[in-house]
Amino acid sequence: MDHVSLAAVPDRAAAGRVTSSTRIFWITWAGWMLDGFDSAIYIFVLVPAVSELLAAGGIEPARGTIALYGGYFFSIFMLGWACSMFWGWLADRIGRVTVMCLTILVYSVFTGLCGLAGGLASFAVFRFCAGFGVGGEWAAGTPLLHESVSEHQRVRLAGWLHTATPTGLLLGAAASFLAPVIGWRGMFLLGVLPALLVVAIRATVKEPLRAQQARTEPGADQPSLADMFVGSQARATWAAGLMMSCIILGLWSSTYWAPTLVISKLVATGSTPAAAQKVAAISGIITNIGTLIGCLAMPFIATWFGSRRRTATVFFLGAFTINLVAYLGAAVWLDSVTLFIALLPLVGFFTNAVFALYTIWLPELFPTRRRAFGSGFAFSFGRILGALGPTIVGGLVVVTGSYPEALAIISLIYLLGLPTIWLAPETAGRALPA
């Protein structure tokens, strides 16, 4: 990113009341990156963590049982994430910066507490609360970026903002090499570290002027849930929520199970759990390299297509196709872990990098006074439906006896989601709404 693309915000705001685009970008990026890191921890310790907690509860940790309870905990985390629409509502009322700090504290503390859980019930509660915090960080941070930078920078920086997620997942994958040494509990305790970012945010980032004015100008009304479902705004709200449901269910029900699939296949063919864990960590790194490339390219891809709708359609179809090729073709028909891992960069590119498009698109669908609420509601609504996915996958694994077959079936969600894309308003080429 060159100096010009991250130049200070133009003089549309009073001196001393704005933060440079460079600082805004990297602070919001860091918050989302550490969010991804905390989310990734569970992916790489699912098998040992769930196995130990099941045994502590007097339940035999059989393969199908681990998959079933692993899906439950995925879903519980996402239900907490779904409830995070509260944070967007709060960010429109008290400010983006304050709420961003609160959400980081919540997800850091409760991720750490997962490492201290003594049983299934306490672990479930901590996972729910961690998800509640994780979901809110995006609702506050993304509007903060959109409203703090100049219009000619906004799309590019918003698209690049989502590079934070694969970077956080890469960091989580790298940290998973420590799992044999510090154990799954130690991995969760690492999740406390993002709380330190709050100090930097409070010291260096100021609330966007346009957000302050939207809250305080004469006649400004408080954000209302009902307003999101009235008139033309209702179409944008429902379309955004349905699109997010599809990509969240698709991601958490396919891509995030890849390390578990790798471990299961390798252990079944004679590898030790420790060796399988290392290969799974490598698979996570490879997947997120593909995601990172997609996120970096997204502003240019969206510009090239000239339409948010066309871009989303390409990624939905790409996600469906690559999931079938990787999970059904490579993992089932050819029974090749090596080929499956080789395809993971494309899996990450289509199933995860698509979120970079929505980091650009969602804030463009709502006015400033309700931007955090509207964007957060859409993301959270998506998580409500998306939360069913991991549990469905766990159940399908029990029925089919196969992770990849279950994941291939759930990928049909991308085809079902195509009509929701064309329901959404097209915003390409338009300025951020006032």
pLDDT in tens, 143-177: 999 998 888 889 999 999 989 888 887 788 788 88
Query: CA distances (Å), 228 to each of 132, 290, 299, 371, 373, in order?
Result: 22, 35, 27, 10, 9
pLDDT for res 221: 59
d(CA 395, CA 69): 10
pLDDT for res 23: 86
d(CA 148, CA 19): 7
Q: Is 70 exceeded by the pLDDT of residue 9?
A: no
d(CA 25, CA 279): 33
Q: Indicate the pLDDT class of residue 13, thresholds 50, 70 and 90.
A: very low
pLDDT over 90 percentage in the chain: 35
pLDDT for res 376: 86
Within 10 A of 315 (CB to CB), how many other CB atoms are there?
A: 25
pLDDT for res 422: 94
Any residues with CB less than 8 A from the CB of 415 and at least 6 apart, and which?
316, 320
Alpha-carbon torsion (429, 163, 252, 400), positive or negative: positive
Rounded to two decimals, what is the model's pTM? 0.81
Token pair, residue 388, equals: 């069913």
Q: Indicate the pLDDT class of residue 307, thresholds 50, 70 and 90.
A: very high
Any residues with CB less than 8 A from the CB of 56 and at least 6 apart, and which?
118, 119, 120
Query: CA distances (Å), 311 to each of 314, 382, 400, in order?
Result: 5, 19, 34
Q: Compute the average pLDDT of residues 50-60.
A: 87
d(CA 417, CA 400): 25
Whether 398 contacts 67, CB under 8 Å: yes
pLDDT for res 227: 76
Q: Indicate the pLDDT class of residue 395, thresholds 50, 70 and 90.
A: confident
Q: Is 90 exceeded by the pLDDT of residue 55?
A: no
Q: Is 60 exceeded by the pLDDT of residue 12?
A: no
Q: Is 60 exceeded by the pLDDT of residue 8?
A: no
Instruction: Quick: pLDDT tens for 196-219.
Output: 888 888 878 888 888 787 777 655
Q: Compute the average pLDDT of residues 276-283.
A: 86
Q: Indicate the pLDDT class of residue 410, thresholds 50, 70 and 90.
A: confident
d(CA 279, CA 88): 38
pLDDT for res 220: 57
Q: Compute the average pLDDT of residues 28-37.
A: 84
Instruction: Quick: pLDDT tens for 66-82.
Output: 878 887 888 788 788 87
Q: Indicate the pLDDT class of residue 406, thresholds 50, 70 and 90.
A: confident
| Helices (H), ranges, 191-257 | 197-204, 209-216, 232-252
Instruction: Quick: pLDDT tens for 335-391.
Output: 899 999 999 999 999 999 999 999 999 999 998 888 998 888 888 888 777 767 767
Q: Burial letters for 103-113: b for 16+ Cβ neighbours within 10 Å, e otherwise?
A: bbebbbbbbbb
